[in-house]
Every structure is written in structure tokens, then in C-alpha cells.
Amino acid sequence: MKIVVPGGSGQVGAVLARSFAPAGHEVVVLSRSGKAPPGARGVAWDGRTAGPWAVELDGADVVINLAGRSVDCRYGEVNRREIMDSRVDSTHAVGEAIAEASAPPGTWLQMSTATIYAHRFDAPNDERTGILGGDEPDAPDTWRFSIDVARAWERAALDAPLPSRTRLVLLRSAMVMSPDRGGVFDTLLRLVRLRLGGAAAGGRQYLSWVHQEDFTRAIGWLVEHEDVTGAVNLASPHPLPHRDFMRTLREAWGTRVGLPATRPMLELGALLLRTETELVLKSRRVTPGVLTEGGFAFEHPTWPAAARDLVRAWRAGTA
Ligand SMILES: NC(=O)c1ccc[n+]([C@@H]2O[C@H](COP(=O)([O-])OP(=O)(O)OC[C@H]3O[C@@H](n4cnc5c(N)ncnc54)[C@H](OP(=O)(O)O)[C@@H]3O)[C@@H](O)[C@H]2O)c1
């Protein structure tokens, strides 16, 4: 297959290239600087407007659009605009390129986020019964902003004038756990290594995650299952409360000590690290209804075994 990955120069793009290129697929990454992870060919685009890059989509089999400014920052006015516009504008550009292709790709997998669901503890959110967020009475303004972004991102894809042969799937992905330096697992493990990986604000909030291997296997499964369209949750079937998630990660690393953090400590830490507490305080309880009902079998369904596997790979320096 020819797989085109706009925004594939980051962590998730590296995970995809590492899996699909050695299997003999051609992986093309669209990047503003033209850079690409090992195994992929980089092509320059501006992430906003039509350009020569569009020929890469013409005749491709699959497009996986990941482009978007990192959400790991303070949500001030400028960053908010960049977070929103980089996702909506790039998705419009990809949709237009597909619409104008003479041989449009059969599958468009558009990144979204598990953050689109409501902050809740009572029940998991699958695609059918899950509650979209934004109306929680006590949700901080930053949480509502993230949901506005997720909805606008999905809307931009759904509004694209797609040819009938192109199928659109919205990837509501949980945190993708890979041993890459600078990725989300590396960040959480750093807290554990510094003995700071205790419960955050009590740790009752759920954390949804997916192992990199199941993420790429699920992508392959979605490409093969041509009957699947619309929103699909990419998350392990067993999200768990933050305090249990971090305790398990401490055990996998081999330390018992993990300093807990109160909400004010987290607010101060987030300010110093130029990030937002939403990433740790919002309860993300998301489960993979479409995948499990469709017969997809997770290789790393539970966190204890997945955490041990990731720690082993992190220590070996193999991503
Ligand atoms: N990592 C996760 O666990 C996770 C989970 C759920 C959803 N997501 C979403 O999946 C996508 C990929 O995640 P990631 O962790 O790989 O992110 P990442 O490492 O930050 O990579 C995102 C890519 O988007 C491109 N980008 C940044 N700003 C842009 C802009 N203004 N216009 C166009 N492109 C821009 C960048 O490519 P260039 O600078 O090369 O152009 C960058 O490589 C993101 O949209 C993220 O929100 C990630």
C-alpha cells in the first residue's frame, strides 16, 4: 500500500512508519519542514493550503492525517488559535486534495482524540453510548476548549466533499504508549524515575491508553475492514484510575516511592512546565466498542503487562 501521513513527523508518525515501512508499504509523511521518521519519505506542505504535495494523495491507498500543533502547552490566546487552526485548516486541505484526486484513496483515517468524551467516573465511554463532553457544569474553560477543538476537527473532516469511493474513519485515540524519547510514556516514566509518580489530586480520574503495537494493529484492522466508517475509539479495553496506573508503572520500573501531588501543586507545576493540568486531571474513561465488537483482539489489553513491556523497551532504548 501507499500510505500518506500528513503530520507524521512526530511521535505517532514514528510509531506508524516503524510498523508499516518494514512490512513493505510505502510511507510518505507530509511535514512543514519536509522531515520524516526513519522508513518514511518526507514531502513538504504548509498544512493549510493546496499545493504540489496533493499529487502524493492521488493514487494512494490510505491517508492518515495526524497534523496539529501539540496540546502540551499553556492555553493562552495564541496557542489556542494555533491548536484549533492547525487541526481544522490541515483537515480541510487534506479533504480538498482527496476530493480533487483523479484516483482518490479508498481510506481516510482522520486523527481525533479520546478527549472528546465527557469527564466522568460512572461508566466508560464507547462510541455508541458515550457522552461527548462540553456540557459538564464544573468543567474548567480549558477542558471545554479541548472539546471544542475535537468537535471542530471532526466536523472539518465530515464536511469534506468526499468522493464516494473514499471512506472516512475518525480516530478517537487515547494516549499512545511507545518507548520513544519525548513521547507521553517517556514523560510519565520520567516522573516515576524522579520518585514523583504518585497519585495526582487523589488519582480517582481515569486514564485511557493504548500500546503502540495495538495502535498500529488497529490501524491495519481499520484499513482492512471496509465496512467501518465514522468514530472509532482507539484505546485499550481497560482504562484505569490514575493512582492505579501510576502505581503499576512504579512497580514495572521497580520503585515503591512516588510522591503524590495535590491540585495546587499540579497547578504550580503546570505553570512552571508551561503545560495544562487538564492532561492529568480530566477523567478519560474510554473503551473500544467498535474494535472489540468487530472481533479485534488486543495484544496488550491490560496495563500491568503493557507497562512491563514498555519499560523493558525503554531500558533497551528500542522504540
Ligand atoms: N500522542 C498521542 O498519544 C495522541 C493521542 C491522541 C491524539 N493525538 C493527536 O495525534 C496527532 C499526532 O500526535 P503526535 O503525538 O505524533 O504529535 P506531535 O509529535 O506533536 O506531531 C504532530 C505533527 O503535527 C505537525 N504540526 C504541528 N503544528 C502544525 C501546524 N501549525 N500546521 C500543520 N502541522 C503542524 C508537526 O509536523 P511538522 O512540524 O513536521 O509540520 C508534528 O510533527 C496530534 O494531532 C495529536 O493531538 C495524539
Q: Give how many domains the chain has, as a whole number.
A: 1
Which one of 4, 18, 32, 45 would you pick to mutate in the ligand 1 pocket, going by the greatest count of ligand atoms within 8 A of its CB? 32
Pocket test for ligand 1, best of 11, 63, 219 (most atoms within 8 A of CB): 11
Mean pLDDT of the region 124-144: 92
Residue among 271, 285, 277, 273 nearest 115 (CA):
285
Please give the pLDDT value at position 158. Answer: 98
What is the reported pLDDT for 139? Answer: 85
**Helices 242-253 and 303-316, packing angle to 10 deg:** 40
Q: What DSSP string runs through 113-161?
A: -GGGB---SSS-B-TTT--BSS--TT--HHHHHHHHHHHHHHHHHHTS-
CA of 91 to the centre of ligand 1 (A): 12
Q: What is the mean pLDDT of residues 88-104?
A: 98
**Integer Cα distance of 161 and 195 in angstroms:** 51
Distance between CA atoms of 267 and 22, rounded to whole angstroms?
A: 43
Residue in the structure block whose three cell numbers are 510505502: 26
pLDDT grade, residue 276 (50/70/90)? very high
- Return mean pLDDT, the chain: 96
pTM: 0.97
pLDDT (mean) for 155-159: 98
Q: CB neighbours (10 Å) of residue 128?
A: 9
Query: In 3-state terms, what secondary structure has residue 173?
Result: strand
Digit-coded pLDDT (tens) for 64-81: 999 999 999 999 999 999
Q: How far is the CA of 6 from the centre of ligand 1 (A)?
A: 9
| DSSP letter string, 204-237 | -SEE-EEEHHHHHHHHHHHHH-TT--EEEEES-S
If you take atom 19 of ligand 1, which residue's CA is the nearest one? Answer: 10
Q: Tell me, what CATH number does 131's domain have?
A: 3.40.50.720
Relative to the CA of 234, which ligand 1 atom is closest? 6
Checking if the pLDDT of 128 tops 80, the result is: yes
- Among residues 224, 218, 217, 109, which one has the least CA distance to residue 171? 109
State the pLDDT confidence band at 137, using cuts at 50, 70 and 90. confident
Measured CA to CA, the distance from residue 108 to residue 94 in angstroms comes to 9
Residue 319 has pLDDT above 80, yes or no: no
33 Cβ inside 6 Å of ligand 1: yes
pLDDT at 173 over 90: yes
> What is residue 132's predicted lDDT score, i.e. its pLDDT?
96
> How far are the Cα atoms of 107, 175, 183, 280, 314 from residue 113, in angstroms, in the given order?
19, 9, 16, 15, 25
Q: Kindly report, residue by residue over 246-265, the tens digit of the pLDDT.
A: 999 999 999 999 999 999 99
pLDDT, position 135? 86
Contact yes or no for 236/300 (Cβ under 8 A) = yes
C-alpha cell at 218: 488497529
The reported pLDDT for the residue numbered 318 is: 73
Average pLDDT over residues 167-171: 98
Whole-number pLDDT of residue 138: 80
- Ligand 1 centre to CA of 67 (Å) is 5
User: What integer is the mean pLDDT of 269-276?
Assistant: 92
Q: Of 188, 207, 205, which is closest to residue 250 (Cα–Cα)?
A: 188
- The pLDDT assigned to 110 comes to 98
Question: Could you give the CA distance from residue 129 to residue 116 in angstroms, rounded to a whole number?
Answer: 13
- Taking the C-alpha atoms of residue 230 and residue 32, their distance in angstroms, rounded to an integer, is 28
* Confidence at residue 136, expressed as pLDDT on a 0 to 100 scale: 87
* Residue-number span of the structural domain to which 65 is assigned: 2-316
Instruction: Please give the distance, rounded to the nearest whole angstrom, from the Cα atom of residue 65 to the centre of ligand 1.
Output: 9
